[in-house]
Structure formats: C-alpha cells, structure tokens
Amino acid sequence: MKDFIARVGTFFLLVGVALIALFIASDASSKITHERTDYSLLCIAVALFFMGVLFRKTAAPPQAAERFKYIKKIQAQRDASKKEKGKPAEKKK
C-alpha cells in the first residue's frame, strides 16, 4: 500500500509541476492578451506539489544498488593484503 501511495505522490508532483508551468505561461500571455492571470492554477499547483512531497516521504528508501559489487570486493581484498604486508613479521621461537 505504501508503494501505491508513493506512486500517487509522484503523480501529484508531476501534475503540480505541470500546473506551475501552465501558470507561468498564462502569466506571460496575460500581457499579450490583456486577460487576468489565473491564480487558481498556482494555488492548485502548490497544493498538489506539497501533497506529492508528503506522499513521497512515506515510500521506503530504495535498496542499495549492487552495481559495483565486484569492484568493491577487489578493493577489499587489496586493502586486506596491504594491511598484511604492513604488519611486522612475528618472531618464531
């Protein structure tokens, strides 16, 4: 269910951004057409944007990507071998 809510949040974010762009376009065109700027678009856009942010926060964080698993393994082996070489040799009795 949380995954679905996060997806709805993403949808609200995208619609909010689109409405903000539409508001900016209507504001820019109001100087040419001499019509009033539609501030209801801005109010709805801001409300949807913040609802989207709140819904997205409920999503679980993504799993760590294991893209460089092999490289990290090689680096760990190299670091371990460097530590062993750096240790002083033990004296045998």
Q: Which residue has the tokens 């460097």?
A: 82
Domain residue limits, the chain: 10-59
Q: Looking at the predicted structure, is the pLDDT value of residue 93 above 60?
A: no
pLDDT classification of 88: cutoffs 50, 70, 90: low
Q: Looking at the predicted structure, is the pLDDT value of residue 92 above 80?
A: no
| Predicted confidence (pLDDT) per residue in 15-68, tens digit | 999 999 999 988 888 878 888 887 888 999 999 999 999 998 887 777 777 777
Q: Which residue has the tokens 């057409």?
A: 33
**Tokens at 31, concatenated:** 């100087």
Q: DSSP secondary-structure letter at 52?
A: H
Report the pLDDT value the prediction gives residue 38, as an integer from 0 to 100. Answer: 78
Report the pLDDT value the prediction gives residue 89, as an integer from 0 to 100. Answer: 56
Are the C-beta atoms of 16 and 73 separated by less than 8 Å? Answer: no
